[in-house]
A and B are shown apart, each in its own frame.
Chain A
Amino acid sequence: MRILLNDTSLQLADDSTLAQLLQQQQLTTEGLAVAVNNSIIAKRLWHEYQLQHHDQIQLFQIVTGG
């Protein structure tokens, strides 16, 4: 299947979970938040969340700010 990760198109195995995608991208979970098709997916669900063809995944991270 193909998904869109922060506007970048990626090919993934059909049964990929969100956690597998993040691992593949070498992302640490601390300070990270994820929305799939504009819905926030809580961290505790990442391991079981099955991605679908054409999902739009947005990643957000904590940065410095006032």
Chain B
Amino acid sequence: MLTIADTTFHSRLLLGSGKFASPQLMQQTIQASGSQLVTLAIKRLELDKPREDLLTPLRAMKIQLLPNTSGAKTAKEAIFAAELARDALQTHWLKLEIHPDPRYLMPDPIETLLAAEQLVKLGFVVLPYCSADPVLCKRLEQVGCAAVMPLGAAIGSNQGLQTRAMLEIIIEQATVPVIIDAGLGAPSHAAAAMELGAAAVLVNTAIAACQDPVAMAGAFAQAVSAGRIAYKAGLAATQAYAAASSPLTDFLAAL
């Protein structure tokens, strides 16, 4: 069971709701993933465009909705977006993300830490998307974040665990759940993250932008479970040279 703040979840796969071809496909994919935590975003309403009812089907699924602050470039903007999202969804859960640079969407560590500290004081359950920096993750934990969400690779890049060595340190030191967010492109990446001891992973593009999101969601769910079981089982040690797993007696030498 994954516990974040005072809430427990059976699933260790968090799903992003962006980039799906239709709301129906998004719903079916969430169901196939078994995910209980799904991210959403907030933006200015366009009065002249038709509005789809996104929330009624999501509410019916009884999942925890996790609005993000995507689009915020500073702590001030992120806090404003957080307060809008809290009122729009009536939840104090928040995925904090501040990435001013559009090319790599790297999270701004300074603004993220400043915003996290204030948002915790304002009563939010803060899950910050952040760089895979062990010192920053510790600082985010110290200001009261309910989890940390370091990146595996750039958002939407599908490059997998580029930050693996740093993630190992973050996981070793953390006393809050470490959720690997961003860059996981294949179920094998998710399994690898879970084998490292991550508490959960967050996936969006790899599922939403593939040929068959419903099937891929199932594949990710299995990979996350397998990786978690492997972590709990304790992986056998790696070594530089071969270590025989069958007896090497030279009984054939006499032939």
Interface size on A, residues (CB 8 A): 24
Partner of B84 from A6, A33, A65 at Cβ < 8 Å = A33
Answer whether residue A42 sits at the interface, using C-beta atoms and an 8 A cutoff.
Answer: yes
CB atoms of A64 and B26 under 8 A apart? yes
> Is A63 within 8 A of B89, CB to CB?
no
- Interface pair B84/A60, CB less than 8 Å apart: yes
Question: Which of B20, B23, B45, B67 touches A6 (beta carbons < 8 Å)?
Answer: B45
Contacts A6-B45, A25-B47 given; does A63 touch B87 at CB 8 Å = no
Contact B89 A58 (CB under 8 A): no
B-facing residues in A20-37 (Cβ within 8 Å): 25, 27-28, 30-35
B89/A65 in contact, CB under 8 A: no
The answer to whether B33 has its CB under 8 Å from any CB of chain A is: no
Main secondary structure of the interface of B (DSSP, over half): mixed
Q: Count of chain B residues with Cβ under 8 Å from any Cβ of A? A: 37
Query: Can you name 26 A-B pairs with beta carbons within 8 Å?
Result: A5-B47, A8-B47, A28-B53, A31-B89, A33-B42, A33-B88, A40-B80, A40-B83, A43-B90, A59-B44, A59-B47, A60-B43, A60-B88, A62-B40, A62-B54, A62-B67, A64-B17, A64-B18, A64-B41, A65-B16, A65-B17, A65-B18, A65-B40, A65-B70, A66-B68, A66-B204
Known A6-B45, A65-B41; 14 more pairs at CB < 8 Å: A5-B47, A33-B85, A35-B84, A40-B83, A61-B43, A62-B40, A62-B42, A62-B54, A63-B41, A63-B54, A64-B20, A65-B16, A66-B68, A66-B70
